[in-house]
Amino acid sequence: MKISEAIDFCLQYQKANSKNNTLKNYEFILGKFNNAFNGRELESIKTEEIIFFLTKLSNGRKQNTKRGRYTLSAFFNLIINTIHPDMRNPCQSSAARNLFRKPKAHQWTIFDKDIIDEAIFRTIHVRNRLMLELMARGGMRVGEVLGLRPVDIEDRKLLLHEPKSGREQEVVFIPQKLCNRLVDYVRNLNIELDQRIFPITYAGARKMVVKVGEMLGIKLRPHDLRRHAATYASRAGVPIEIISKVILRHSDLSTTQQYLGKVSDLEAIRWIENIHC
């Protein structure tokens, strides 16, 4: 089977079964792969050639960006599982695995509820406080907060029309008190239905969050607030399926688990006592 034919088959499969970001990744990697081995039979590709290709592709990049082997390996596995069951996957070799290991997941700092609450309560500026709450209580990304318009508010639901997932629309659920303050803010400033509620830049929003953290003596970033929303819900006993699908709006539970902080010995003991009291 020609490489170009295999790539066309794979991309058609990804278009039907994957998100836009995943599809773009396949298109980029496989496009480079096709340019490097144009006209070759897929079965003729050797492990040494894969290593040379990936090394050249990732030259000058950090180790944690060397993900090409996993895309290529998935590509070969798809062809093997659907078309050529007897073909060997050249990416599945000890040499390739050692050179392009999957990076270890970074363990983010998870802030306690008291710290996040203090950050919110000590923020006097109404706009800034609302933005902090939408991230910390609603699990919103900073870009989603900045894109909000009054027309997107439906009771305690906020509609996202261009979500990161690539879906046509997503819904964010927020507490009633926060929704009331958001509606009052829009009404008091006479913000038009189709205008942005928070017309500031991403850099400006990030700077605001960093300053709030400095006020408390901590290093705080916008995504820390989203992680807090997930972790606090988890500690409160919310099922991980709800955290994943409703709060974080992830399509994969494994992604959600990366957001949740490690459980300390003290916390583990407290939960065990609560279960068996």
Task: Supply the CATH number for residue 49's domain.
Answer: 1.10.150
- 106 within some domain: no
Same domain, 39 and 121: no
CB 145 within 8 A of CB 131: yes
For residue 192, the enclosing domain spans 113-276
Closest CA relative to residue 199, chosen from 211, 210, 186 = 186
Tokens coding 174: 């927020």
H helix runs in 100-221, sequence order: 113-121, 126-138, 142-146, 176-188, 202-216
**Model pLDDT for residues 154-192, shown as the tens digit of each residue:** 988 999 887 766 676 788 999 999 999 999 999 999 999
Which of 70, 99, 128 represents a domain boundary (last residue)? Answer: 99
Bridge partner residues of 237 (DSSP):
none
Distance CA 48, CA 95 (A): 9
Which of 99, 128, 158 represents a domain boundary (last residue)? Answer: 99
SS3 41: strand
CATH number of the domain within which 135 lies: 1.10.443.10
Element (H, E) at 172: strand 170-173
Which of 75, 99, 123 represents a domain boundary (last residue)? Answer: 99
pLDDT of residue 65: 42
- 108 within some domain: no
SS3 177: helix
SS3 123: coil
- 105 within some domain: no
Bridge partner residues of 2 (DSSP):
41
pLDDT of residue 63: 47
- 31 within some domain: yes
pTM of the model: 0.60
Same domain, 54 and 121: no
pLDDT of residue 101: 57
pLDDT of residue 257: 67
Closest CA relative to residue 192, chosen from 150, 153, 131, 147 = 150
DSSP labels for 149-163? -GGGEETTEEEESS-
pLDDT digits (tens), the chain, 277 positions? 899 999 999 999 988 887 787 888 889 889 999 999 988 999 999 988 888 888 887 775 554 345 666 788 889 989 998 888 888 888 877 766 666 555 555 566 788 889 999 999 999 999 999 999 999 999 999 999 999 999 999 988 999 887 766 676 788 999 999 999 999 999 999 999 999 999 999 999 999 999 999 999 999 999 999 989 888 888 888 888 888 888 888 776 666 666 665 555 665 566 556 655 5
How many domains is the chain partitioned into structurally? Answer: 2
